[in-house]
Amino acid sequence: KRQKLAQYNTVSDAVELIRNAKNIIVLTGAGISTSLGIPDFRSDTGIYAKLAECGLNDPQEMFDIDVFRSDPSIFYSFARLILPPSSSSRFTPTHAFIRLLQDKGKLLTNYTQNIDGVESVAGIRGEKLVQCHGSFGGAGCVTCGYKCPGEVIFGDIRAGRIPKCPLCLENPPMTTTTKKGKKRTENEEEEEEEDVDPSLGVMKPDITFFGEPLPPTFSSRLLGSPTPSTSPPRTPDAECCDLLIAIGTSLKVSPVSEILGLLPPHVPAVYVGIEAVKHVEFDVQLLGVGSDVVVEEVCRRLNWSDELRAIVSR
Ligand code: OAD
């Protein structure tokens, strides 16, 4: 388990760390988008509390790949709650701060767990971004693999309908028919029952569900690629990162929650959130007021306020 570095404790320490860092990993979660009206997952007002009210015993089932395969209607009855906002030109001061780190050449990588796509709206470049839990940017058929842009299935999602694959609708794939052994009298014939896969021909957004692997860039970028790739070799982030800033995440979902533990122990770590994180040792935690207020104050102390404002008002 990571040990706290004794020399860093205060807001000023966090500001100095940002001033001096050259390769910052920013690890983000749902808390950086709440000020846009997008709920987070685990707060009292978050998605999971809403799902519990709607009767789901374990609200995380909504994102469970086995549950999706056996009954996609569970995901699709709630998916509209997590769709990216329809006005796609908005982002928060926190997104602007990450963009500013990029503009200043300090952003190594933004590992985001968010599926709202707001990072790109703020101008964080694709090559600086790892969408650890995928996104609504694309969708694919779970049966034939047909791919389409994510927006194509938004209409169905908003209407609470299960989006279907156009190719599978045209050429229905073979269904499996099984004889179900049923208790019957001597004279009764055994009934044949169709046991149709409920997810047959269903489209799924490119979100990483529990039980699915993360996109391969997550570990190759962080730790290096196990197999030589065709692109020019890149130093793994874990080897060159000199500061980690985690913002707006409960760090409850692995493997993203393990990133800090995979960095060398001398790399300082700052947390920005509402409540203290107790299961991971950060050097400085900036809490209580929300990340937008924190980044504004940090930028004030760094003399970056004008630049932050310029990005926010773009
Ligand atoms: P959580 O809902 O678990 O955590 C969000 C954190 O942000 C909480 O600790 C909040 O207190 C904090 N927060 C809320 N508003 C904030 C604000 N304005 N400023 C700073 N912090 C704030 O969300 P994640 O950690 O992102 O998976 O959850 C991780 C994954 O769990 C998600 O990616 C999602 C979910 O299952 C998928 O979408 C597939």
Q: Tell me the mean pLDDT in the region 249-277.
A: 96
CA–centroid distance for 81 within its chain: 15
Strands 24-28 and 243-247: parallel
Distance 94 CA to ligand 1 centre (A): 14
Banded pLDDT at 190 (limits 50, 70, 90): low
Q: Tell me the mean pLDDT in the region 198-202.
A: 88
Residue that wins the pLDDT comparison between 130 and 51:
130
One fold for both 1-37+90-133+214-226+235-314 and 39-84+135-174+194-207?
no
Give Dmax (Cα) for the chain: 88
Q: What is the pLDDT of residue 26?
A: 98
Instruction: Please count the other Cβ atoms lying within 10 Å of the Cβ belonging to residue 271.
Output: 24
Distance 184 CA to ligand 1 centre (A): 53
Q: Using CA positions, which residue lies closest to atom 17 of ligand 1?
A: 290
Is 168 part of any known ligand binding site? yes
Residue type, 33: S
Q: Give the chain's mean pLDDT.
A: 90
Ligand 1 pocket mutation pick from 28, 33, 43 by most atoms within 8 angstroms of CB: 43
3-state secondary structure the chain: CCCCCCCCCCHHHHHHHHHHCCCEEEEECHHHCHHHCCCCCCCCCCHHHHHHHCCCCCHHHHHEHHHHHHCHHHHHHHHHHHCCCCCCCCCCHHHHHHHHHHHCCCEEEEEECCCCCHHHHCCCCHHHEEECCEEEEEEEECCCCCEEEHHHHHHHHHCCCCCECHHHHHCCCCCCEEECCCCCCCCCCCCEEECCCCCCCEEEEEECCECCCCCCHHHHHHHCCCCCCCCCCCCCHHHHCCEEEEECCCCCCCCHHHHHHHCCCCCCEEEEECCCCCCCCCCEEEECCCHHHHHHHHHHHHCCHHHHHHHHCC
pLDDT tens-place string over residues 138-181 = 999 999 999 999 999 999 999 989 999 999 988 877 655 444 44
Written as one string, the DSSP assignment of 217-264 is HHHHHHH--SS--SSPP---HHHH--EEEEES----STTGGGHHHHS-
Asked whether residue 259 carries a pLDDT value surpassing 90, the answer given is yes
Side-chain-side CA neighbours of residue 207 (13 Å): 22
Distance 253 CA to ligand 1 centre (A): 10
Ligand 1 pocket mutation pick from 210, 250, 286 by most atoms within 8 angstroms of CB: 250
Name all contacts of 156-159 with Cβ < 8 Å and 24+ positions apart: 156/76, 157/76, 157/79, 157/80, 157/83, 157/205, 158/80, 158/83
Q: What is the DSSP letter of 46?
A: S
pLDDT tens-place string over residues 29-87 = 999 999 998 899 999 999 999 888 877 888 888 999 999 999 999 999 889 888 887 76
Q: What is the pLDDT of residue 181?
A: 47
- Residues composing the chain: 314
Ligand 1 atom nearest residue 251's Cα: 25
Asked whether residue 230 carries a pLDDT value surpassing 90, the answer given is no
Instruction: Please count the other Cβ atoms lying within 10 Å of the Cβ belonging to residue 80.
Output: 13
Ligand 1 pocket mutation pick from 27, 36, 42 by most atoms within 8 angstroms of CB: 42
Q: Using CA positions, which residue lies closest to atom 26 of ligand 1?
A: 29
Distance 158 CA to ligand 1 centre (A): 23
Is residue 133 part of the annotated active site? The answer reads yes
Is 144 part of any known ligand binding site? yes
Q: Using CA positions, which residue lies closest to atom 22 of ligand 1?
A: 31
Closest CA to 165 of 126, 197, 131, 212: 197
> Looking at the domain covering 1-37+90-133+214-226+235-314, what would its CATH class be?
alpha beta
Q: Using CA positions, which residue lies closest to atom 25 of ligand 1?
A: 249
Is 54 part of any known ligand binding site? no
Is 299 part of any known ligand binding site? no
Distance 114 CA to ligand 1 centre (A): 8
Q: How far apart are alpha carbons 1 and 252 in whole angstroms? A: 15
Closest CA to 84 of 243, 264, 237, 207: 207
Domain boundaries, the chain: 1-37+90-133+214-226+235-314, 39-84+135-174+194-207
Asked whether residue 192 carries a pLDDT value surpassing 60, the answer given is no
Q: How far apart are alpha carbons 78 and 184 in whole angstroms? A: 40
Pocket of ligand 1 (CB under 6 A): 29-31, 34-35, 40-43, 46, 63, 113, 115, 133, 207-208, 248-250, 252-253, 273-275, 290-291
Asked whether residue 251 carries a pLDDT value surpassing 90, the answer given is yes
Distance 268 CA to ligand 1 centre (A): 22
Banded pLDDT at 185 (limits 50, 70, 90): low
Q: How far apart are alpha carbons 175 and 61 in whole angstroms? A: 26
Banded pLDDT at 187 (limits 50, 70, 90): low
Q: Using CA positions, which residue lies closest to atom 37 of ligand 1?
A: 133
Domain 39-84+135-174+194-207 maps to which CATH number in 1.10.10.10, 3.30.1600.10, 3.30.70.890, 3.40.50.720?
3.30.1600.10
Closest CA to 109 of 93, 98, 121: 98
